[in-house]
Structure 1
């Protein structure tokens, strides 16, 4: 049996963990089959419990931008671990990484560390409501901002994988304050503001959507969101849990030249350890407790292990002025060469790419919103997933997810990936 050890481990996990996994998309329910249980990772590769190696195009859903267990990050983490795992008290290290981020990211004066992207987005929404004195928010179909109640209204990613646009347990009272619009459809946003005058606290958006696949903003979509927020006294929140420090050091704000009022982070700033953060201008961030009255707290916020790994990761990225150009070039090569192979096979497809994020959609010519993504051929993606997996290529186990490319991917990994696509039979 190909994945014998993983099969046995999944069967055992199913007895004690709901669905056998601690995050739904890991269950392979969208693509079918047995989820792989990993035991180690290094550079561009994952190794499963059956000792099979895979070129990794998930990279822990984004944070392993340098590849896995980068030696300098690992050494920094070891040194920090010897000093203590967690204190529940302030550390100089928290200020050090906060200062490093504030000095290098546009339009950010202060940053508050938390422990996950969900927590960051949830807290940013609360802060926006506290700052504006309003209750309603606008989000977009297919954008996922974590599993807080306010966000599980037509969420993407794992929710789309399971074919459920909402989650039981989300109350009608909560749902009524979340207003939905189609991604890239600014007219719907205008209509929502007209229908809810002086009631909308904020718009929250993935500037490059990553939870319905990689979807790019079109027709000055983000610029128009900025403008309408300014005109109506609402805040614009960029969920940069995926794009922050991945598209550019200043994230989507820098790469797309659009300023947000609040930005949420995760992934890269922990160097692979659990972390999240939200940041913004002084006038907004000063509303946070203990300085202001908007309450937010977290026992493990600013965990020293995550802060040390994250700071070292950011420093390594910053030291290389060509880091993002090289990463984008790798992704561009994959995009072009995979597209060429699929064209030669006569497979209708669309590849979306920005920086080091990309996705493939089958049997569509456009993928600019959740409805168009839902029209893509998920069955064909699932077929591709399993065929290349057998050849040692680990893609996201859902057609609704984004590939994340690491700097550890080189010519050898690209060649092996392209060979797997050449062998794809559909």
Structure 2
């Protein structure tokens, strides 16, 4: 069962399904930077003056002052922070404030920011060139690592983002099946391509947008939606659209409506329904790939989809995406087949290098056991702090991914998630920021731990959470 928790802070803990030794990863995997000042000194000295000046200037240069909406703090209020540097589990803003970071660049930084090994490998690769627009041997190396790790992937195509991966995989599913319609789930986010911006999560949920202006009705006419964790709704869609549905795409664990885990029967049921109806099953593992287990959510849950999208971790912090799956399907992709997709920087040597080094680190014994241990402690601790201070909270975790809501719960889908007290979350977020802890600036985003987080980081965070919650 999923690691779903209530305000009691008692977890039904998952142990990772990865068959990696339980020996703990070496201490070199983790950042040893100490918090440079006490909590009291941090609060006394906390200022965002330089961030405010920089952000005000940015608003005249970029829409909303940012290049991705959630960074503007619209849903949590307060002054967005402008980051100067990051190392290990810490980030430092341009005012000199230091934060324990649980965003991790929205997931890629699973071995920590500015990992010494990644930086050294990138430095060597850059001596040979940054991009060729032609094949390089590093593509083969990372492709072999991905194929050996992810159960569903027999061939893989690298692209430059999760959005590109989802665009490509949907086109491929339609090409292979000859059908046009597909099912996505409410609150799940599969990038900002037109077809996916229907009842989407991530920034669309954060900003309260039903979809997006500029998306023509024709682009979404073949997009069908169902509530997450609702098999009956999926079966009704197949009944009403017999022989017309190419695929189901889903986040096996939702990370863009907050953190929502599947009911025990849900993913099994989806796999059965797609097989019974001649449709493909696509796992969007841009977020969960190499995070829940080395083989991703499909290894963790023991369910093999037909196609998979990846991103984030496989680029080690550089822009990347990928889609892959069964060989007979992937051989339809050009130039092997007629389904066209291309990219100038796809498979570039820098992203391949960072991805290779990151995956090598993740293969070390004890990696996922360590992530599971610290994330369980963190999630339990925050929910226990909520209980002590009289706040209704629920949440959960799997391996290095977690989330919590300001509602009694349980949260099974996007409609449940929207019951969360977002005003209270905003107060919590701003309070934690002053204490030196950086969570995602939205109630509707998952959090992430890394190998760089130490037990001291976790205890500091829990203590800060209790202080902040006691003031709300």
TM-score, normalisation: structure 1? 0.99
CA distance in 2 between counterparts of 1:364 and 1:202 reads 34
Task: State the match for 1:409 in structure 2.
Answer: 453
- Any stretches of 5+ residues in structure 2 without a counterpart? 1-45
CA distance in 2 between counterparts of 1:51 and 1:303 reads 34
Secondary structure class of the residue paired with 1:330: helix
Matched, 1:225 2:270: yes
Contact 2:409 2:416 in 1 (8 A): no
Deviation at 1:412, TM superposition (A): 1.6
Task: State the match for 2:384 in structure 1.
Answer: 340
Please point out which of 403, 411, 414 is paired with 1:359: 403
Secondary structure class of the residue paired with 2:60: helix
Task: State the match for 2:35 in structure 1.
Answer: none
Kindly report which structure 2 residues correspond to 1:94-113, keeping only aligned pairs within 5 A, or say none: 94-113=139-158
Contact 1:263 1:279 in 2 (8 A): yes
CA distance in 1 between counterparts of 2:446 and 2:128 reads 37
Contact 1:364 1:375 in 2 (8 A): no
Matched, 1:158 2:181: no
Task: State the match for 2:214 in structure 1.
Answer: 169
The root-mean-square deviation of aligned C-alpha atoms, in Å, is 0.8
State the Cα deviation string for residues 234-272 of structure 1 (Å, max 9, x = none): 000000000000001100110011111100000000000
Contact 2:152 2:308 in 1 (8 A): no
Please point out which of 291, 298, 304 is paired with 1:253: 298
Task: State the match for 2:249 in structure 1.
Answer: 204
Task: State the match for 2:284 in structure 1.
Answer: 239
Deviation at 1:219, TM superposition (A): 3.8
CA distance in 2 between counterparts of 1:363 and 1:296 reads 43
Over 4 Å off, 4+ runs: none
State the Cα deviation string for residues 68-112 of structure 1 (Å, max 9, x = none): 011111110111111100000000110111011112221211000
Secondary structure class of the residue paired with 2:229: coil
Matched, 1:13 2:47: no
Secondary structure class of the residue paired with 1:164: coil
CA distance in 2 between counterparts of 1:169 and 1:409 reads 41
Kindly report which structure 2 residues correspond to 1:14-33, keeping only aligned pairs within 5 A, or say none: 14-33=59-78
CA distance in 1 between counterparts of 2:113 and 2:423 reads 30
State the Cα deviation string for residues 21-56 of structure 1 (Å, max 9, x = none): 000000100001221110100000001010110000
CA distance in 2 between counterparts of 1:341 and 1:153 reads 36
Q: Whose relative contact order is higher, 1 or 2, with alpha carbons under 8 Å and at least 6 apart?
A: 2
Kindly report which structure 2 residues correspond to 1:362-401, keeping only aligned pairs within 5 A, or say none: 362-401=406-445
Contact 2:281 2:305 in 1 (8 A): yes
Task: State the match for 2:183 in structure 1.
Answer: 138
TM-score, normalisation: structure 2? 0.89
Kindly report which structure 2 residues correspond to 1:289-368, keeping only aligned pairs within 5 A, or say none: 289-318=334-363, 320-368=364-412
- Any stretches of 5+ residues in structure 1 without a counterpart? none
Contact 2:181 2:224 in 1 (8 A): yes
